[in-house]
Structures are given as structure tokens and as C-alpha cells.
Amino acid sequence: MSASRVLFGDQLRLSISDRLSPALRAAAAGLGPQGRTAVYSQGGSVRRAETGADVIRHFTGQSAAEKLLRETFVAADQDLQDGTARLAAMVESALATSRKAVAAGIHPTVLSRAVSGLFPEVNAAFASCTESFDDPAPVLNAFDLSDAAADGMRQAIVAAGREGHVEVSEHPEEGIVFTASQGFIVDMEPSLGGTLTDMARVFVLVVNDVIQDLKPLLPVIEGFAKSDKSLVIAARGLEGEAKTLLERNRVAGILRVSAFVPVDKGPRAAEVLTDLAIATGSILISEETGRSLKHLTPDMLGAASGLTRQGQRITFLEPGGDEKEIALRLKGIAAEVARNRYLSLDREHAQRRLSRLAGRWVELSVGTDATNPGLTGEVRRALSSIRSAQAYGTIEGAGRGLVSVAELIGASEAHSPQERAARRIVSDALRAPADKLRFNVGQDAGYADWNADVPKLCDPVDLSRSLLEIAVSLALQMMTLEAAVLRN
């Protein structure tokens, strides 16, 4: 049996700080001058950690504290998509200051409550330091982007506007490819063979169900066969007799038809089909709407001037939906984006739907770059910061804005020992990124103007505030541990 030891109280908390500090310092080393990074070995090769979360993921062990730290950083990276190097600096500072407060006799629970009670004031301080987002350049300056990538980002942001969405993809060749799309875009898979890539003047049937029986469709289909019009069917699925008959008519040249099913599944498929119906002016066939194929008439079909297909991406050109219905749907999706503010996957899905329905969708395809293999990740992180800044405003970058917030928190009078300790924890965590940046550029604490020559930088204010909350919450959670058995 391996040897073990039992640690209590402040001895345990000191041990936790000592165990976590190397990984936190390695993660925070990425702040500031480009080229500072952490490397690790995997599969016989040496690799570079691209973010603070990458460092924490590869530089921590299996102790309870290290697992908690790793889980927190992975979750923060998924939800915020940027800022984990700053988070590391904040966590290290909050751990050290809160440990001193607990060692001085303040109970961890009391300290935690004092910090929580301080956050309305913290929010007000952030609000007073917030600036409106007018220019993406100060936010982009914080990222190591090539001129081509930065130019592509600026074009994409302008083309998308505040309501639009920029989607980052990859392609195998060098360079940045910028594409702004018009019309309504949806990701769908073809259900019939020989699906056309281009169709003119299409009529659209949208069914939130699996179509198996073609009999209810026959009167409408006969009308299309006689008029040589194009029919697009979008449904949950196309099976059995319905699929066989449509395929037979398509091959025989009797009917010009394409059928698609959403790439998304479950409730998201229903959302996409509803968006398509509203965009094209279709009456959605669904149990929820009380409409069925048995009562299908030609006036229930939507329309678009054309359809183009590239792989799974379908674009309906000049869709014929009602502007008022589209505006109402956009309002509902925008509320969904706001509700999912801290759920990155759900937020991204809703934002993509919002921009596609609004016709403001942009794709930025990033090619390979031998000098910067992590370029695609940096573009995605920069884009995430831009979105946050657009939505909630910015704060002065290079740690200056955080220091301004810290000064406001520190200027207020504290009425109890726990409140004084809470203000020190929050203030020290806010100052930590600037201190780490100064250290990383090789300046000591006495060099006040270390960042005087740095070009104007801005950070998303909501991101900065979220990083602070995560940092102090994690540190105080660590402080509640009172005893542990450590195996050597």
C-alpha cells in the first residue's frame, strides 16, 4: 500500500496552492508578448498548448483539486471561448489572497458570502468602465493574427453586422477566403438520388414529420408535373412508398423535385424546419400546428426564386416569406440567444439560425499556415471576443480596465473584517492580469508605464467580468476544504 499523509486546515490549503501554482503560472505565461507558450509531450512528439485551458488540461494531475481546476477551465473555455490565460492569473491571485484571509481567522463560508455580496458593486464598477463597441481593431489587436487573417476578420464582421453571424471553417490551402451569402441558408442532406445543385423558381413544402405515404401529395405533384415547376420537399424524413414514387418520377423526368432532411436532429430539426417555413412563406405541416398532408393545397407551399446546393449547405435565393412573420421569428430567436448566454453550443446554434433567417450569414474559411498552426483557433477566439464586445461593450485592454475596476472596489469603505478581505480578494484578482502582463514583458512592479507604447487594446467587458466571477468562485470553493488524505 502506498504511503499517505493527512492534511488539515491551512496546511491543506497551502498544499493545494502549491500544487496548482505551477500549472496556473504556465497558463498565465501566454499573456502578452507573442511567442511565450507552454509545450508538452504527447505520443512521442512535442506540442504547443494553444490556450490557458490547454495548459491546465495537460499540466495537471489526478488530485481532487487538480481535477476541479481542470474541469473549471475546460468549461470556461467551452462557454467563453477566450480568456483562460487571464483566468489563470486571476485564480492564482484569488487563491493566495483568500488563503491568507482564512488563515487570519475568517471562516471560508463567511468569506464566500462577503464576496458574493460584493458583486452588485462589482457589476456597477464594470458598467462605469464600459465603452461602446465601435471598431473591431482594438479587440483584434490582442490576438496574434496575420494581416490577411485580420483583414478577413474585419471584412466578415462588417458584412455580417450586429445581427449577422460569422462562421469559421477550414480549407487545406493557404490563405483566407471570405464569403458573404444572400438568401436563407440551411444545412440539409438530400433524400433522393441525383439531387440537383441548382434549381430555378422553386416551390417549397415543409413537413415536420417523416413522409411515408404519397397519396395526400398526389394532387399537388400532378400539378407540378403538368406545369414543369420545381418542387422542394423539406421533411424529417422520406421513406417507403413516398420515396420510391418520387424517385421513379424524378428518374423518368416527369417531376422536377428535390427532397432534403435537416442535418440537425430532434428538437433542433423542428426549429430549423420552422425557420425554413417562415423564410419561404410555407405553411408548416406539423401536429403542433394542426396541419396535415391530408389537407395539403398548393397555397400552403412556400416559394423562392431559386435554390443552390454545396454539399449539405442549401441556399434559398430570394425566399418569399412575410416580413412581419420573419421579424417576429427573429425576435424570438434573439431572446433564445440571450437565454443561452452561458451555454456556448446552444447559443451558437441559435445565433446561426438568427443570422441565416436575417440573411446576414458570412463564412470565413482559414487555410493552413506553417508559421502558425493554431491560426484557426485564434480566429475563432477573436471572433468570440468580437461577438461579446458587440453585445455588451468593451473595457480598456492590457489589464488597464480591470485595474480601474479594482480601484473603484478598493476605494469604498469596508465595515467588517470579512468585507475588507472580500475587497482584497476581488481587487487582487482584477489586478493580476496586468501584473502578469508586466512580468511577461520583463518589467518590475515599479515600472508604471510598462504598457504606454502598446497599441490601443480592448477586452469584452462581459468576458472580463465572467472570468473574475469564475476565478473567485473557484478559489473560495478550494478554501472550504478542511481535511484530505494525500497518497504519495
* Residue-wise pLDDT tens digits, 291-348: 888 888 888 899 998 888 888 888 888 888 888 998 898 888 888 887 877 676 777 7
CA distances from 472 to 155, 216, 304, 469 (A): 38, 62, 53, 6
pTM exceeds cut of 0.75 = no
Domain 184-321: homologous superfamily in CATH: GroEL (3.50.7.10)
DSSP state of 107: -
Mean pLDDT for 254-264 is 85
Identify whether the C-beta of residue 87 lies closer than 8 Å to the C-beta of residue 52. yes
pLDDT of residue 1: 43
Instruction: Report the alpha-carbon distance of residue 81 to residue 384 in Å, rounded.
Output: 6
Could you tell me which residues come within 8 angstroms of residue 365 by beta carbon, excluding any fewer than 6 positions away? 168, 169, 170, 171, 176, 177, 178, 179
Give tens-digit pLDDT for 88-101.
999 999 999 998 99
User: Could you tell me if 388 and 451 are in contact, meaning their C-beta atoms sit under 8 angstroms apart?
Assistant: no
Question: 4-131+394-487 falls under which CATH superfamily?
Answer: GroEL-like equatorial domain (1.10.560.10)
User: For residue 406, what pLDDT band results from cuts at 50, 70 and 90?
Assistant: very high
Domain ranges of the chain: 4-131+394-487, 137-182+359-392, 184-321
Nearest alpha-carbon partner for 93 in 443, 426, 466 = 426
CATH superfamily, domain 137-182+359-392, is TCP-1-like chaperonin intermediate domain (3.30.260.10)
Q: What is the pLDDT of residues 410-459, one digit of tens each?
A: 888 777 899 999 999 999 999 999 888 888 777 665 555 655 666 788 89
Average pLDDT over the chain, rounded to an integer:
82
